Amino acid sequence: MRSTVHERGTAAAWDVVRPPGPSRLAGVSMAGFRAASTAGPVDVHVVPHPAVTVVLEFGAGPLVVDTANGHRQRGDLVAGFLHGSLRVRGERVECVQVRLSPVVAHTVLGASPAELDHTVVALEDLWGRDAARLRQRLGEATSWQDRFTLAEALLTPRAEAGPSVDRQVAWAWHRITAGQGRVRIEELAAELGWSRTRLWSRFRSQIGLPPKRAAKLVRFDHAAHRLATGESPARIAAESGYVDQSHLHRDVLAFTGATPATVAGGQWLAVDAMAWD
């Protein structure tokens, strides 16, 4: 499916392409992005998401990412769980973006999400020459479907050969996401028959975030997407497990560095809605 999303207040636009069906790899999803060649430079602020992101860039670009702590990364990259402002910009950008559930991220990338938290790294640092080879082949491909196929072909053997998280940790993560972050960590530990400390330690080392922080990120993600549809912040707060509207405001500010109104009006969530389920 192909869609075009225009940046609010500018002439710039993204062409967004989704694969015809879900990935064969559990915990992996993809979308294709192309900045319209006649629309001028792209400059957007990214909203944090509960997944590890891989950007496979093959356009004339380059794609440039600036993080809140001043770090800059160009080209193919891996972004861990980021909090605060993340700026993506460039001209003639073309890329395949891959979202990895933290349950499979270590397996696919060869690096624990805990090592990637709050940072953006070059994909070459993790995959070596395979990253450059994939970039070349993506650039030579003549269709988005070919690009999705190439990306999945590279990910599959890595997913099959890498380490996996404990099934109890995977279960806890899926409970958090299924509940949209509205879960009590003590109850998860009790259902597993683990102490709270044991759950915290295993979850933090394998998923990359402490369980409570993961639940807050998942809850924020759902709230942010509801804000982008124009829903009332008060209603979202009441239905999403926040104490009140001020609590929602503080969470949005903590994750993005911006107010709920600014996040709701940002272009990134409009693109996000087109690219992912």
- Same domain, yes or no: 266 and 155: no
Q: Judge if 8 and 144 occupy the same domain.
A: yes
Report how many domains make up the chain: 2
152 and 186 co-located in one domain: no
What is the pLDDT, as a whole number, of residue 277?
67
For 67-109, what is each residue's pLDDT tens digit? Answer: 777 778 877 888 888 766 678 887 788 899 999 999 999 999 8
| pLDDT class of 62 with cuts at 50, 70, 90 | confident
CATH number at residue 226: 1.10.10.60
What is the reported pLDDT for 9?
42
Listed residue (178, 199, 180) closest to 188, CA to CA: 199
Q: Which domain holds residue 20?
A: 2-161
- The predicted-structure confidence for 121-145, as pLDDT tens digits, reads as follows 889 988 888 888 888 999 899 999 9
User: pTM (2 decimals)?
Assistant: 0.89
Answer yes or no: do 129 and 209 share one domain: no
DSSP state of 7: P
Q: Quote the tokens at residue 189.
A: 């530990």
Q: Are 123 and 172 members of one domain?
A: no
Q: Could you tell me which residues are beta bridge partners of residue 121?
A: 78
